[in-house]
């Protein structure tokens, strides 16, 4: 049985699920259990990545988000939050290089990681803070945390380079998403699981059915 970490791109998940359900009504533990059983995987951890609203902009929305994340934490989900930043290409490259140096990678892995994450050719100056963080953590998990497979709950094509890198270091990947907004490139190049409406309906919280 392969060991897996489930990485949830909360922003992508929210926008793609909301035409069907209120996203907070989906029990992420139930959904994770479905994926694990379907693919015969052993869970190491669930990680929830989310950008945080500015408290000064809207106190109520900020408090609701904190309460929701607190509920996930009580379920054992690891929460990673970031504020989106605007960086120049030079600043972004230095930030990524600092990440790479902090990993203490071996001589074989380091050039592979550098080639992927230091390529600025397809980056806008506005850093996609959460996407970059998820991609880095997935690669770090594959290289240093002794997992067999990275499960990504997102349909965003921005994760293709990270998936390529994980495959290059000999680990497996799986993307999971609802049909809406699910990248064709992700599905054409890597294993995938479409989360249909009837599946999510079975993953609703008990008081929301």
Task: Give the C-alpha separation, 60 to 44, whole Å.
Answer: 34
Domains recognised in the chain with CATH numbers: 2-84+130-208 (3.40.50.1010)
Checking if the pLDDT of 112 tops 50, the result is: yes
Q: How far from 24 is each of 68, 128, 144, 194, CA to CA, in Å?
A: 8, 23, 32, 19
Structure tokens at 152: 């990504």
Determine the pLDDT at residue 124: 41
Chain segment 174-208, per-residue pLDDT in tens? 999 999 889 999 999 999 999 999 999 999 987 56
Q: pTM (2 decimals)?
A: 0.77
Checking if the pLDDT of 139 tops 50, the result is: yes
- In this prediction, what percent of the chain has a pLDDT beyond 90? 39
What is the dihedral sign for C-alpha 174, 177, 183, 184?
A: positive
Least confident of 26-30, 84-88, 91-95, 127-131: 84-88
Task: Give the C-alpha separation, 110 to 141, whole Å.
Answer: 14
Tokens 């290059």 sit at which residue? 168
């Amino acid at each position: 049985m392969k060991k897996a970490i489930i990485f949830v791109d909360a922003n992508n998940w929210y926008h793609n699920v909301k035409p069907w359900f209120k996203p907070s009504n989906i029990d992420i533990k139930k959904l994770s259990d479905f994926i694990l059983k379907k693919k015969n995987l052993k869970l190491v951890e669930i990680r929830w990545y989310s950008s945080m609203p500015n408290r000064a902009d809207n106190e109520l929305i900020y408090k609701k988000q904190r309460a929701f994340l607190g509920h996930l934490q009580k379920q054992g989900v690891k929460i990673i939050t970031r504020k989106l930043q605007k960086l120049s290409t030079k600043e972004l490259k230095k930030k990524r290089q600092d990440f790479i140096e902090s990993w203490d990678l071996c001589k074989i892995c380091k050039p592979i990681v550098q080639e992927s994450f230091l390529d600025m050719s397809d980056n806008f100056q506005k850093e996609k803070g959460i996407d970059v963080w998820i991609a880095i953590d997935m690669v770090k998990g594959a290289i240093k945390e002794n997992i067999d497979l990275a499960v990504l709950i997102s349909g965003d094509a921005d994760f293709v380079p990270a998936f390529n890198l994980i495959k290059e270091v000999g680990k497996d990947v799986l993307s999971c998403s609802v049909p809406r907004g699910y990248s064709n490139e992700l599905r054409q190049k890597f294993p995938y699981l479409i989360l249909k409406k009837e599946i999510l309906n079975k993953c609703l919280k008990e008081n929301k059915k």
